[in-house]
Amino acid sequence: MDTYTNSETKTTTEEYGEQLLSAASESIIENAGFMEAALDRINLVAKRGVGTASLVGDDFYYEPSFLLKKCVADDNYPVRLLLHSLWHAVFAHGYSGEKMNEEYWDLACDIAVENLIMELGIADFSLAIDNEIRDYLEEIKTYSAGMTAEKLYRFLLANPPSSGVISEYTRLFSRDDHSVWRQPQNPDMNREEWIRISDRIKIELKIFAKSTGHAESLIGNLDEATRQRYDYKKLLERFCLDSENISVSEDEFDYVYYTFGLTTYDGMPFIEPLELTKGRHVRDYVIVLDVSVFCRVEIIRSFLQKTYDIIKYMDEYAEAINLHIVRCDNEESAHTVIRSQSELDSFVDSLELNDREDGDYRPAFAYVDKLLYERVFTDFRGVIYFTDERGIFPGKNPGYECIYAYFSVESSLPEVPWWATPILLDEDSLQM
């Protein structure tokens, strides 16, 4: 960790600010040694005019006068501020995708970070307002499915807070400036390095967690930040393998030369038949939508659109593509066939998300088996099962290809039967 100032001559305020952050760094290493790799990565840069503080790549910019003002009100503010920004970097909060609700995402990230700092229970990291923060966190935990930034973001989308609540959340949880997250930069190199740091911290944190009994939220957020993303397009290739109807091309094959070879060379053809004409036929793909009310329609639209576009592009020899969309909510099954872009648009526009019994994949497979028995499909390719929750699998192999596309349900892939292929999706992976 290095310290810099954007002026040749340091003012007294800048010198005090540098001293405060140096002491904050020492406090973090002393109380949370697993953060040393993250601290070593960054540069502390005093910069007049930034207003508050922000971590841009590897540079932590801070306004010295802001830091001193906050420190006068609360001695531990510098260490809390620095730790807060470091966790944003470790959890890759600045790489959320372009179509996020920025206000909700910022709040979700701040709540997640402050919750895990509180969870550590380290006195040197505490603030005078922690009792207020703790009360709000307990209330949020009652309703949110989890305390990672991703799950808190989904909670806020499903339960939009009032302007008054947003102001209160901002007062309690916000520490640094997130506007730099939306500025053009070259994040790939920094992100890869921070992912390596996150992996290292995760290993050391597990040792810390065993000795203290804390850090449940820390590990969950680290899992979310470092989990592997998958190429959904490549995975769909197995559903779009070309099946050719091989036959002789009557327009290009000359039987005179072929017969001449058979008679002259003792059964050896002079030329081989020119292959091949490819039969064009209808392909059928089944998409099961098994989502809760917490999954936004925009996410479902992105998933269906990307799937439709990929299949249309890759399955070039099909005469037509039928997407059979199956819904199984509370034991009620629905089946919609999508044959065109306009039908897909109409389906999504009329889509309603209903409460359902969680965690049972079996009804959807039973319904697909029923469609197979009734010979609904011309050329059945397999099932793409899109869900936002874990569930109970059928007891046996259904006998066809099956992809389980999990949308940010957990920080790691759930265990699935050998015949199912799991994939974790997020908003970035659903962008075209």
The ranges assigned to domains in the chain are 2-226, 232-240+280-425, 245-278
Answer yes or no: is pLDDT of 409 > 70. Answer: no
CB contact set of 181 (below 8 Å; sequence gap of 6+): 93, 94, 96
Give the H or E element holding residue 263: helix 255-264
How far apart are the C-alpha atoms of 176 and 42, rounded to whole Å? 15
Superfamily of domain 232-240+280-425: von Willebrand factor, type A domain (3.40.50.410)
Q: Which range among 1-15, 166-180, 205-219 shows the weakest confidence by mean pLDDT?
A: 205-219
Answer yes or no: is pLDDT of 280 > 90. Answer: no
Burial class (CB in 10 A: 0-12, 13-18, 19+), 287: buried
Answer yes or no: is pLDDT of 250 > 60. Answer: no
Regarding beta strands 53-56 and 59-62, do their DSSP bridges make them parallel or antiparallel, or are they unpaired? antiparallel
Cis peptide before 351 (omega within 30 of 0): no
The DSSP annotation for 85-124 comes to HHHHHHTTTT---TTS-HHHHHHHHHHHHHHHHHHHT-GG
Report pLDDT digits (tens) over 211-241: 665 555 566 655 655 554 456 777 776 666 5
The vertex-340 CA angle with 332 and 305, nearest 5°, equals: 75
Amino acid (1-letter code) at residue 308: Y
Closest CA to 302 of 146, 131, 99: 99
How far apart are the C-alpha atoms of 10 and 280, rounded to whole Å? 75
Q: What are phi and psi of 45, to 5 degrees?
A: -125, 110
Report pLDDT digits (tens) over 315-349: 665 567 788 998 876 556 778 898 888 898 888 88
Answer yes or no: is pLDDT of 187 > 60. Answer: no
> Quick count: other Cβ atoms within 10 Å of Cβ 32?
24
Give the H or E element holding residue 57: none
The mean pLDDT of the chain is: 78
- Give the residue-averaged pLDDT of 410-418: 73
Regarding beta strands 380-387 and 402-407, do their DSSP bridges make them parallel or antiparallel, or are they unpaired? parallel
Q: Which range among 210-219, 390-399, 413-422 shows the weakest confidence by mean pLDDT?
A: 210-219
Question: What tokens does 175 get?
Answer: 């520490």
pLDDT band for position 29 (50/70/90)?
A: very high
The DSSP annotation for 58-77 comes to TEEEE-HHHHHHHHHH-TTH
Report pLDDT digits (tens) over 73-99: 999 999 999 999 999 988 888 876 556
